[in-house]
Amino acid sequence: MPQISVERSGNVATITITNPPHGFMDAATVAELDAATAELDADPAVRAIVITGGVPGVFIRHYSVRELETLARQLRERGVAVDPARPVPPRDIDRVFGRLETTPRPVIAAINGFAMGGGFELALSCDLRIAEEGQYELGLPEVRLGILPGAGGTQKLPALVGTARALEMTLRGRTVGPAEAHRLGLVHELVPPGRALERAHQLAAEIAALPPRAVGHIKRLVRAAGAVPRDEGLALERTLFLDLLLSDEALERMTRMNADDRDIRDA
């Protein structure tokens, strides 16, 4: 059975990932996510995307360790060796996570249970993370297997919690409950059990109602803030500011605000 289902409500699309009984991510999950996110990214009618888990108590538990073991054995049998001077090219999972980060649409993770390893890396690739209260864990425990977070975790976690805390968590393989995740800034909001998807939809609808071109430009700039030199980021910011200032939608909104003498918060 397919692991990915997509439902649309107005201009918000919800991706539900269901791989019973444990809710692991595997190659099939990645392939289906690739197809689903590519389709949504190409649809101008979609203005926001929500991702959640379909197995009770699980967002995505983690990537299948059985599949990783099989891959390791196959590569060893082929005599594959790694040279840091020759980086490994991007894989399908990198393309999927990269698409979530670069699509102009906001992507919101409705975390309704376990999200560790690759599952947590998927959540880190989203723009906003809403987590339910409960007895489950989030984090990057890969070091306990003698490996490391290999789908962006070592690069994205420090941006949220700082280098010192990221080192403490990844070197120990320490996972945390949703309350601590919220205190650390790993998730934006903590909601009662069963409410993550509802809250994610509220946020998605709120942002989807705003001018999509402005939303896309803002996401692009903020995402690039730590990845490009500051002068380049500022140059792009003023360029995209002017691009929006000249747009019909911005002019109409500014004219309406000034004519009605509105507060900018009510524009």
Per-residue tokens: 75: 């590569």
Tokens of 83: 């040279």
Element (H, E) at 250: helix 248-260
Q: Is 32 one of the catalytic residues?
A: no
Question: Whole-angstrom Cα distance, residue 231 to residue 239?
Answer: 12
Instruction: Find tokens 């999200």 and name the residue.
Output: 115
Tell me the residue length of the chain.
267
Which is the catalytic residue, given 69, 101, 121, 189? Answer: 121
Give yes or no for a contact between 105 and 113, defined as CB atoms under 8 angstroms apart: no
Residues 23, 55: contact at Cβ < 8 Å? yes
Among the listed residues 32, 132, 137, 142, the single catalytic one is 142
Query: What gap in Å lies between CA 26 and CA 66, rounded to an integer?
Result: 9
Cβ atoms of 176 and 215 within 8 Å: the answer is no
CA distance 38 to 33: 8
d(CA 156, CA 223): 11
Whether residue 47 contacts residue 9, with contact meaning beta carbons closer than 8 Å, is answered with: no
Q: Is 142 a catalytic residue?
A: yes
Q: Cα separation of 176 and 173, whole Å?
A: 10
d(CA 94, CA 86): 17
Positions marked catalytic: 121, 142
